[in-house]
Amino acid sequence: MRDLSNKNVIHIIKDGVQYLQFRKLLEYDNIITHAYSLGTDLNFRTAKINKEALPQNEYEKAIDSYKKICDSLGTDYKNIVKTNQEHTDNIKIVEAKINTEFMDINLEEYKETDGMITNKQNLMLSTTNADCILLLFFDPVTKTIANVHSGWKGTLQRISVKTVEKMQKEFNCKPEDIICCICPSIRKCHFEVDKDVKEMFGKEFEDLQILESIDIMEKQQTHEKWNIDTVLINKIILKQKGLKPENIIDSGICSVCNSDLIHSYRVEKQGYGLSTALISLK
């Protein structure tokens, strides 16, 4: 079995469950619990579907997957709070669980929401991906956490920066104190787009290429397609917002290159599964 550990993350296998943990966040394991799921045997797609449509009920599979990873982390799956993720820049403050005896999933309260922030204990914030970027934020000074889904549309809307701004406004966080961990996602090597998307990124992030003297986009030699580095974009705009470079921690792992261990829409296509990123204050 391959080990995805590197200088920033550790590949854990416990009770038959695989996940990544960030070395930086493990320095605060007396305060927070976190993980990014590994293994395509786990699938965190919580949308209810017709049992007859697929040989396996994905909803029940998702609940079982949450139970397994939470048990491995020593937490209660009932504490899960999950956004509905619709590629928006909307971020909600989570004050308490809505369901007392079950996970907060598929709830109207989290409709059109792609990020969550809390300073309350025992709320396990969950986002899911199959190539999109997931960002785990932690301020050890104010003991505030956030979990954010930033697909390419979310990146265009700068949801990562808006999360920091909301942490500042609502919880008095200082950007220089905030740690941001970037989970496995599609990387520049595989994130190819057509001209329309390339032009949107070129317009929104023109300043980055001028100020940073870097190429966030690269045209393919043989096709009218471009490869975009959305991870690098998020690193730069977070640094511009005031996060210290050493506090922007990248897993450095591509979901497409590692699709045997990480769900990838571009590899699995129709019927693709979802991985999850989790973070909670103890």
* Domain CATH code at residue 157: 3.60.140.10
Residue 261 maps to a domain = yes
Residue 222 maps to a domain = no
Q: Mean pLDDT lowest for which of 19-33, 208-222, 254-268? A: 208-222
Element (H, E) at 124: strand 124-129
Provide the token pair at 226: 């471009």
User: Which residue range is the domain that position 255 belongs to?
Assistant: 9-185+248-281
Say how many C-beta atoms besides its own lie within 10 A of residue 2's C-beta.
9
Say how many C-beta atoms besides its own lie within 10 A of residue 92's C-beta.
17
Residue 210 maps to a domain = no
Q: What are the pLDDT digits (tens) for 197-246? A: 999 999 999 888 655 556 788 899 888 999 999 999 999 999 999 999 99
Residue 49 maps to a domain = yes
Residue 238 maps to a domain = no
Residue holding tokens 């993720």? 85
Q: How far apart are CA 234 and CA 137, in angstroms?
A: 13
Provide the token pair at 46: 């919580």
Average pLDDT score, the chain: 94
Q: How far apart are CA 62 and CA 47, in angstroms?
A: 9
Q: What are the pLDDT digits (tens) for 51-98? A: 444 445 888 899 999 999 999 999 999 999 999 999 999 999 999 999
Residue 193 maps to a domain = no
Average pLDDT over residues 266-276: 94
Residue 3 maps to a domain = no
Element (H, E) at 137: strand 133-139
Residue 173 maps to a domain = yes
Tally of domains in the chain? 1
